[in-house]
């Protein structure tokens, strides 16, 4: 059961999932079955631990607030691990904002190139969607400008950038930016949770921010 489906963070996660689905489809992966698609839906679940007053702040963040937001990937990792979600998905969430490949704050390290590559792809899709959407603290930019910015980002995946670029050139970007149906989201969350052999995962979605939702 999903509550307040119009949450900014939840809608963002759904759109990143749509981008991931189409990207993986281009690789020959069946829709909604790929690891990037699944990780995309829950990649910001760690923001449940962060106050909406910080997430939706229009003014410049204080250093402590910035550090807290930067921890959302770690929080998400811990939430998903606690429900025994697939380890690869957990680590993709953990490393999707890592500045140093395979390292988080000098504490978590990983040498699995496949997981790091998947996390890099997730980061690229996440960044593209964030740049091209309105947030309380910034206005969206064009898809073309976002792609150009990503080309200067060392953390971005070139293959994903080229995929997005091709979609924009073909004027197919709007299709990627649409929200998927409630039923599809419920099905995806159930599949992620079922793989963890548990009946529930908590993540409530409040208007304007991700706070929690419950899937039975």
User: 116 with 110: CB under 8 angstroms?
Assistant: yes
For position 151, what pLDDT does the model report? 95
Report the pLDDT value the prediction gives residue 6, as an integer from 0 to 100: 42
- The pLDDT score that the predictor gives to residue 163 is 94
In sign, the C-alpha dihedral spanning 46, 52, 56, 58 is negative
State the pTM of this model: 0.79
Inter-residue contact 141 to 173 (CB < 8 Å): no
Domain borders along the chain are 11-197
Helix 35-42 to helix 8-26 angle, to the nearest 10 degrees? 170
Residue with tokens 């979605």: 205
- The pLDDT value recorded for residue 207 is 32
Give the model's pLDDT for residue 157. 94
For 11-197, CATH number out of 2.60.120.620, 1.10.10.410, 1.10.3210.10, 3.40.50.280 equals 1.10.3210.10
For the chain of 216 residues, list the mean pLDDT of each consecutive stretch of 10: 52 87 91 88 85 78 82 88 88 80 51 80 94 80 91 93 86 57 66 54 37 36
Give residue 152's pLDDT: 94
So what's the pLDDT on residue 45?
A: 86
């Amino acid at each position: 059961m999903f509550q307040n489906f119009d949450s900014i963070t939840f809608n963002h996660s759904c759109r990143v999932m749509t981008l991931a689905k189409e990207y993986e489809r281009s690789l020959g992966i069946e829709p909604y079955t790929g690891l990037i698609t699944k990780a995309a839906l829950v990649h910001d679940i760690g923001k449940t631990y962060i106050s909406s007053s910080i997430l939706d702040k229009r003014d410049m963040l204080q250093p402590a607030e910035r550090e807290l937001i930067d921890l959302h990937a770690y929080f998400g990792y811990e939430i998903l691990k606690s429900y025994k979600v697939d380890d690869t998905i957990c680590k993709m969430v953990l490393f999707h904002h890592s500045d140093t490949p395979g390292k988080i704050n000098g504490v978590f390290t990983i040498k699995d190139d496949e997981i790091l590559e998947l996390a890099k792809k997730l980061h690229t899709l996440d960044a593209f969607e964030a740049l091209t959407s309105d947030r309380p603290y910034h206005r969206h930019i064009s898809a073309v400008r976002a792609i150009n910015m990503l080309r200067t980002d060392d953390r971005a995946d070139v293959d994903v950038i080229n995929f997005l670029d091709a979609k924009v050139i073909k004027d197919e970007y709007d299709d990627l930016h649409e929200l998927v149906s409630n039923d599809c989201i419920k099905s995806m969350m159930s599949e992620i949770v079922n793989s963890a052999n548990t009946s529930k995962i908590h993540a409530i979605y409040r208007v304007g921010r991700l706070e929690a939702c419950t899937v039975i």
